[in-house]
Amino acid sequence: MTYENEKHSVAAITEYERRTTAMTDSLTYIVQPGGALRGRIRVPGDKSISHRSIMLGSIAEGTTEITGFLEGEDNLATLNAFRAMGVQIEGPVDGSVSVHGVGLHGLHKPAEPLYLGNSGTSMRLLTGLLSGQAFDVEMTGDASLSKRPMRRVTVPLAQMGAEVETQDNGTPPLKVKGGAKLKGIDYTMPVASAQVKSCLLLAGLYAEGRTCVTEPAPTRDHTERMLTGFGYPVYRTGSTVCVEPGGTLRGMRIDVPADISSATFFMVGASIAPGSDVVLEHVGINPTRIGVINILRLMGADITLMNERDVGGEPVADIRVRAAQLKGIRIPEDQVPLAIDEFPAIFVAAACAEGETVLTGAEELRVKESDRIQVMADGLTTLGIDARPTPDGIVIRGGQLGSGEVHSHDDHRIAMSFTMAALRASGSITIHNCATVNTSFPGFVDLSRTAGINLETQSP
């Protein structure tokens, strides 16, 4: 059967199933070797755009209708946070959500601390938005989020006049004091980060004077695009983006494209597995997010963009990927911010490539849900690959992936990356602590099976 007449989609996952899976911390994947990926695949909606659609829809005037919303744990954490602050939100039902906005100053103090689970995006962006509110609020998270650094947002927010308390080491819980008089600043980010940029722009909506953020390298620009879509002026000059207070957001319709980060796993899987031929449908190809396509093409991947179009201000395409012999490369540093979330999967591609792949300039990977450089190096080494971590990257020499047990360290992207590795392994791969896959990709197991991966799950 060819890819033209096959059709796969992500099955809806119930709230009960989602919560049950999230509580099963010891969920294990057992993936048998071999196979090929074929067919038409629709991965879930873009995680970053889903977060922002709830946030901006909540502080807009009027109703925002969202389709394609990602019903993963992280995005539901954002949705529930705004419900707790008095926003009426209907859904999600099959990816459809209605947000009845309360305006820039219509949020209310939540009755309890906002629990954001594993979502660093929720916490960092909300810290900026909540710095301009009249009420105090505390934000907490799970064990993983409670270890993640927050000074990258609290330090520049303090320069704006915000009062945010962290733990002594700069980690959550965070306590944001209401009533602060924010002032606009010109901030040059020391490290490229869309979360930091977005945090400061959201705070800038409430500040006196202009707030400008200068990036050392391009990062995803969903916040700027969506603010513009909501009718709020955004000013960009070169690498600097600015906002001013006094504008109004107006409710709108948002069709969330499929998440390129989720599509990445199948792009890599199809590239490394002989006989593979897949089409990934309706994938967002925002120029600030296509580093993975650029990097895989440099490695020799056979990737074709089809049916390119614009949906709600975001470029979208269907992506066809066929198996190819990859080669090791030195990854250009200017592509690192454009692929920062996709590197665990890219490391699997490197492990299957001829020669050596070298990554530098990616120290940000060490402070994600896990230390993704070290965790991937450990797992690849267990599977027989020469993978040597460096302070800001990794050196991987391609070879034959073997069999073994690896640990995801409760990192969803690690778990899904090693699932794809089994397509080229000589034996089965067992991946521990995979429950967090639902933070970004509900339905991953079923979709992987349908596409051609021999994947079983095991829980107590």
Residues in the chain: 460
Gap between the Cα atoms of 234 and 243, Å rounded? 5
Burial class (CB in 10 A: 0-12, 13-18, 19+), 233: exposed
Q: Residue 295 has which token pair?
A: 């990097």
Gap between the Cα atoms of 237 and 134, Å rounded? 32
Gap between the Cα atoms of 157 and 176, Å rounded? 11
Cis-peptide into 173, omega within 30 deg: yes
Closest CA to 113 of 148, 90, 145: 145
322-to-36, 286, 301, 331, 343 alpha-carbon distances in Å? 10, 22, 8, 21, 20
Q: What is the CA radius of gyration of the chain?
A: 21
Gap between the Cα atoms of 325 and 320, Å rounded? 16
Angle between helices 444-451 and 412-421 (to 10 degrees): 10
364-to-7, 59, 178, 294, 368 alpha-carbon distances in Å? 37, 30, 30, 20, 7
Active site residues: 341
Q: Residue 168 has which token pair?
A: 């002594």
